[in-house]
Amino acid sequence: MRTLVGARSSGLLVCALLLLAPWLVAAHGPVTGRQAGDQGAGSTTVGGVLAPGIVSIAKLNIPHGYRSITAELEWGGDAMGWCRFVPGMWPGDPAMALDVGSERIVAERFTRDGYGNTTAHADVSDRLPGILASDGRTVVVRGAAPGSGEPCWGKWQLRVSWQAALDVRTSAEPSAARPSDRITQRAVITNTGDIPLTRIEAELGAGPCRRDVDRLEPGRSAEVSCEGAAPEDGGLTARVRGMTSDGTQVTAEAAGQVQILQQAQIALSIGNIVLTPDTDAALVPVTVHNPSSVLLVDVKVTGQPAACQREIGELALGQSITYTCRVGPGERVDLTVTGTGVFGGAVADSARIVRVTAYAVAPTAPPPPGAAPFPDVPPAGAPPAPELAESASVRESPARAAGIIAVLGVLVMTVSVGALSSATRVGR
């Protein structure tokens, strides 16, 4: 009986070892990856089996120098049915963490299939150098030892994808401008992948314009440019596309910015002109103001009278200068102020000079108290106005003039009546 029980136990152990043999071989031996395409985009997947205390090794084939790589590690999943009857070999869930190369990878999410099998997932794109051995190809996954408290069985897979890549950066000269000013937009195009790219087209928004580059080797750059007007919002755009040798299209976009400068402005105002007491002059207050956000240079006030002209020079952002000048009563004040803006440290050309004009008239001197108003004075050089001759009768006294008018009226009436009587007689 003891012999039968011992033989039965030995048989079960042999059967278990025979069933485990393919898995253990897979755990030790290299696993061939599935690779798709060696031009443009491609991917490869390697994997193995985790067993207690056993190292799983696989070889990963990635084209040398690829810079645009995504990698995801998975472990857990289904297992062969006989594992269910091996005590301590069937945990409910995969391990929360897995030791791969020099990295300890912690699960970021879990998925479960329709059979209840759970798989752990982790994005290892940024940690791929630490996962791979020094040769850049070997992946080593260590299974946990029995009794460590961690699940120590299951499958693992590492999926790696890559694609050819382009990069573009854009800027403008000058870096600061006013809307509609002429600028030169530049774009630097770089092949950031590991395979040559051809038929590269760049579309720049400043023109808009299109520029072509025949070919870019891996890691090489090319610069294109386009002249155009500075956009109202200062935004620059650059779009690039190229082709791999197998016809795969690769694209990239970039945005830049031009600093939009405010238009130069200047203001001129003439205040309340006041006559100075006991003099024949008036004081004119003049104010020059820079309301813009740029420095103004060569600021000067010209015009008439000459006493109100000024050389101001520089006028800082938001600065105002007020001065007074003396003019005569009734004199017209007609002034113009000009200035030139400074943009990005450079003085604008003469076409960008700002100019404002203002005018006013000084009041006349009031008459002294109690004096009769001044008669109207004819303009200089005008002929004197003719004087009306006065008759002697107009110079007589009003009473005498009235009597003379009455006598004349009687005489006129008598003559009129006599004439009327004569006419009547002739008619008869």
Q: Say if residue 112's pLDDT is above 80.
A: yes
Q: Say if residue 187's pLDDT is above 90.
A: yes
Return the half-sphere exposure (C-beta side, CA atoms, 13 A cut-off) of residue 186. Answer: 9
pLDDT at residue number 285: 95
What does the pLDDT look like over 120-173, one tens digit per residue? Answer: 899 998 898 899 888 888 999 887 665 555 555 678 999 988 778 889 999 999
Q: Using CA atoms, how far apart are residues 292 and 250, in angstroms rounded to an integer?
A: 46
Task: Determine which helix (DSSP H) or strand (DSSP E) holds 419, and give its type and residue range.
Answer: helix 398-427
Pairing of strands 138-142, 97-100: antiparallel
Q: Specify the higher pLDDT residue, 63 or 118.
A: 118
User: Quick one: average pLDDT of 54-72?
Assistant: 78
pLDDT at residue number 385: 44
Contact 95, 151 (CB under 8 A): yes
Q: Specify the higher pLDDT residue, 161 or 87.
A: 161
User: Quick one: average pLDDT of 83-109?
Assistant: 71
The tokens for 249 are 């299209």
What does the pLDDT look like over 393-411, one tens digit per residue? Answer: 334 444 454 444 444 444 3
User: Quick one: average pLDDT of 221-233?
Assistant: 92
Task: Determine which helix (DSSP H) or strand (DSSP E) holds 186, and give its type and residue range.
Answer: strand 182-191
Q: Using CA atoms, how far apart are residues 71 and 33, in angstroms rounded to an integer?
A: 14
The tokens for 131 are 């996962």
Least Cα distance to 205 among 172, 167, 174 occurs for: 172
What does the pLDDT look like over 6-39, one tens digit per residue? Answer: 444 444 443 444 444 444 444 444 444 444 444 4
pLDDT at residue number 345: 67
What do you get for the CA distance between the two ends of the chain, in Å?
A: 195
The tokens for 337 are 């102020």
pLDDT, mean over the chain: 75
DSSP secondary structure string for all residues of 38-79: SSSSEEEEEEEEE-TT-EEEEE----TT---EEEEEEEE---
User: pLDDT over 90 for what percent of the chain?
Assistant: 34
What does the pLDDT look like over 292-338, one tens digit per residue? Answer: 888 899 999 999 999 999 999 999 989 999 999 999 988 999 999 99
Contact 321, 312 (CB under 8 A): yes
Q: Say if residue 66's pLDDT is above 50.
A: yes
Contact 251, 166 (CB under 8 A): yes
Q: Specify the higher pLDDT residue, 28 or 52.
A: 52
For residue 9, the SS3 value is: helix
Contact 353, 340 (CB under 8 A): yes
User: Quick one: average pLDDT of 84-90?
Assistant: 48
Q: Say if residue 215's pLDDT is above 60.
A: yes
pLDDT at residue number 64: 63
What does the pLDDT look like over 331-387, one tens digit per residue? Answer: 999 999 999 988 766 676 555 788 999 999 988 866 555 544 444 445 444 455 444
What does the pLDDT look like over 230-268, one tens digit per residue? Answer: 988 889 999 999 998 878 888 999 999 998 877 788 999
Q: Specify the higher pLDDT residue, 143 or 181.
A: 181
pLDDT at residue number 93: 63
pLDDT at residue number 67: 61
Strand partners, 99: 104, 142
